[in-house]
A and B are shown apart, each in its own frame.
Chain A
Amino acid sequence: MHHEELTAEQARDLRALAGAIIPPSRDYGVPGADDELIFNDILRSLERDHGDIRRALAQLAALAGGAFADLGPERRTEVAATFREIGGAPLAALVRVVLLCYYRDDRVMRSLGQEPRPPFPKGHVVEQGDWSLLDPVRARPPMYRVVK
């Protein structure tokens, strides 16, 4: 398992940051990205971003002056905002993994009005639309240059 390569402290910081990026919402009835199921998916999905994510977490710990997860809520928000402002490829990789795991969670999909299923084999319906909209274009003369 890839997550064994993260130390316990790094995993704790990653989970705390995931929760700061996407907190749970009672209004929308969704978990945060630090939810156990989603976070386990994140840990399983680090794959080729492992190195970048470890670099991002080291940067986060430096900004926090220790473990990010041990900070109080207000300080966490401040450090997270600074981290985002600094940006960079390692942070982009970390955020990408958090978002791609969050937005494939069944509970989140349902809250967005999306069916939590793979597209195949049922597919989707896309309306044909009104083809008479093309009538003015059909009426145009040829517009390509004639080449002899």
Chain B
Amino acid sequence: MEARLFGDFAVSPNRRARPTDYPINDANSPIKVVNFNGVGGSTIMYTAHFPRLHPSDFKVRTLDGVADDWPVDYATLEPFFAENDRMMGVSGLAGDPAYPPKQPPMPPLPLGKSGTRFGKAMNQLGWHWWPSDSTIATTDYEGRARCINLGHCTPGCAQGAKASTDITYWPHAIRAGVELRTLCRVREITVDEHGMTTGVVYYDAEGKEQFQPAEVVILACNGVGTPRLMLNSVSARFPNGIANSSGLVGRNLMFHPYALTYGYVDEPLDGNHGPPLCLWSQEFYETDPKRDFVRGYTFQFSRGVGAIFEAIVSSQAGRLPWGEDHHRVYRKLLNHRIGLSAICEDLPEEHNRVTLDPDLKDSSGIPAPRIDYTISANSLKMMQHGIARAKEVLAAAGAGDICVESPILNGGWHLLGTARMGTDPERSVVNEWGRCHDVKNLFIVDGSIWVTSGGVNPTSTIQALALYIADSIKQRLANLFD
């Protein structure tokens, strides 16, 4: 499986190029888009790291005078976070001082040798650290077997311990009567003369064009796929893309720029045995006026990497020689790596955007997305701060031969902000419960509706928002389109 991470299970859709993937022109971005296309979406290809946004993340304008406040808050989402934790099956430890109280349903992932080393280092520095919330089952849970430390968690779990929506939400939906059509690709969302969507045009598994009528259309293609589909949905009423009277569809793309710092210690650690992420630190999460940037970042600590990954990355970095000395050096690297990444909050900027590429198309002939993105000065300062602090952590952990990858090139895991939520139709695409301002039976439930990015992996909050929007739809069924 590790070798397939460089082929048909590569994180980049351009490299992976499976029949279900669509190409993305991300040449004009220092961070390349990472996703997965299939039943379960990008929860198939994720590390299962499951932090929530913090209360302050929803109020950045009020607290820090930047970007915009969200039209929802942590307290509104709290019951949906808890419900989602139960549905996905979250392991973790209650009592984290970085969050309001919460109770993960399963105990945390083991510390292992690397976690122990990091814990001691963070204590020495007096900095916060805590076992991560993770959607990897540490006990048998709802038909899923507990984790047995297979290690290659990112591209999937043979044990079924890692939660992905194909094995959590989808079975419930199918039992409730939802029909799942696989290998289909939607080309456009159609509208009638009243500006209501009438359904979607799609290509079925045989490549035949079909029309699916619908009373309500709900998009969940995330921060690149959703604006791509909306921009491809052109009509006389919406010549610039469906529900795009604000001109904001595709704008304000936010990644989380990742600053990775790692080194090597003098004893073998866990390598790739065990889930790759098991700890976080929120020491530098909240805005500190003494720093030269606003907002902050999470540190996520990496357990280690596998034999193939270590060889390839070390060769590319020039650490691993060719010839006689190759074997000696490699043995000093394998399973000796210890590292941490700063997941930096990316503030929204309209020039960071998804558009349609004029030339590139997918295998169905549908125009592909193009990414234009730059890292802001604020993010760059934050990354530098993260690298400097990470070096202190690694020194305290006894690591040497320090290496930095900043930004992580293939690090565009988190795709946010391109159909933002808000109460003002001129400054947002969807309202405070996910309904498009312009099309009252079109909803969005993915990362594109985020107003700001926070500094954490977004899956937990995306899913909590989706549950909240679903609940809002249910509560308003009698007057949903008013």
A-B Cβ contacts below 8 A, count: 162
Instruction: Report Cα–Cα, A127/B110, bound state, in Å.
Output: 6
Contact with B along A119-141 (1 / 0, CB 8 A): 11111111111110110111011
Q: Which residues of the partner chain B approach A118 to less than 8 Å between Cβ atoms?
A: 1
Instruction: Report Cα–Cα, A81/B322, bound state, in Å.
Output: 8
Most buried by A among B129, B152, B308: B308
Q: Shortest distance in angstroms between A111's beta carbon and chain B's nearest beta carbon? A: 8
Interface residues on A, range: 35 or more
- If A119-B150, A121-B158, A123-B159 touch, does A144 touch B312 (CB 8 Å cutoff)? no
Q: Is the interface of A mostly helix, strand, loop or mixed?
A: loop
Q: Shortest distance in angstroms between B72's beta carbon and chain A's nearest beta carbon? A: 12
Tell me which of B99, B150, B327 contacts A120 (CB under 8 A). B150
Q: Which residues of the partner chain B approach A112 to less than 8 Å between Cβ atoms?
A: 307, 331, 334
Instruction: Report Cα–Cα, A143/B17, bound state, in Å.
Output: 44
Instruction: Report Cα–Cα, A124/B112, bound state, in Å.
Output: 11
B199 at interface (Cβ–Cβ under 8 A)? no
**Size of the chain B interface, CB-CB below 8 angstroms:** 63
Instruction: Report Cα–Cα, A121/B158, bound state, in Å.
Output: 8
Instruction: Report Cα–Cα, A145/B73, bound state, in Å.
Output: 13
Most buried by A among B119, B148, B322, B324: B322
Instruction: Report Cα–Cα, A95/B313, bound state, in Å.
Output: 11
Closest partner residue, chain B, to A141 (CB atom): B97
Instruction: Report Cα–Cα, A117/B327, bound state, in Å.
Output: 21
Q: Is the CB of B159 within 8 A of A103?
A: no
Q: Shortest distance in angstroms between A144's beta carbon and chain B's nearest beta carbon? A: 5
Q: Shortest distance in angstroms between B348's beta carbon and chain A's nearest beta carbon? A: 19
A6 at interface (Cβ–Cβ under 8 A)? no
Q: Shortest distance in angstroms between B307's beta carbon and chain A's nearest beta carbon? A: 4
Q: Shortest distance in angstroms between B360's beta carbon and chain A's nearest beta carbon? A: 18
Q: Is the CB of A48 within 8 A of B56?
A: no
Q: Is the CB of B323 within 8 A of A20?
A: yes
Q: Which residues of the partner chain B approach A67 to less than 8 Å between Cβ atoms?
A: none
B63 at interface (Cβ–Cβ under 8 A)? yes
Q: Is the CB of B152 within 8 A of A23?
A: no
24 A-B pairs, CB-CB below 8 angstroms?
A: A21-B326, A27-B327, A48-B15, A80-B322, A84-B322, A100-B2, A112-B307, A119-B158, A124-B151, A130-B111, A133-B116, A133-B123, A134-B129, A138-B95, A140-B128, A143-B97, A143-B128, A144-B55, A144-B97, A145-B63, A145-B286, A147-B58, A147-B59, A147-B62
